[in-house]
Amino acid sequence: MNLKTSKELKEVNDTINHINLRKQMILTRTLVSAINEVDENLTHRELANSIAFILYEYYGRKDYNSFINLLKDKLK
């Protein structure tokens, strides 16, 4: 692989990472806003029930383990 190609790949990768980070930030702000709108004292159980419903209805069983593993890793 030549240097130019390597540099181009890095730039593409950096752009993708930036887009993903931006999406995460927007989603986080939106979720926090929604939680505060529903109940500022929402319990972790209520949140977990809502997230479980979203996973079940919109993502399907194939994504459960991946989601749980990522969540566990992020909470370490």
The pLDDT of residue 72 is above 60: yes
pTM of the shown model: 0.70
Per residue in 14-36, pLDDT tens?
A: 888 889 999 999 999 999 999 99
10-39 in b/e form (b: 16+ CB < 10 A) is eeeeeeeeeeeeeeeeeeeeeeeeeeeeee
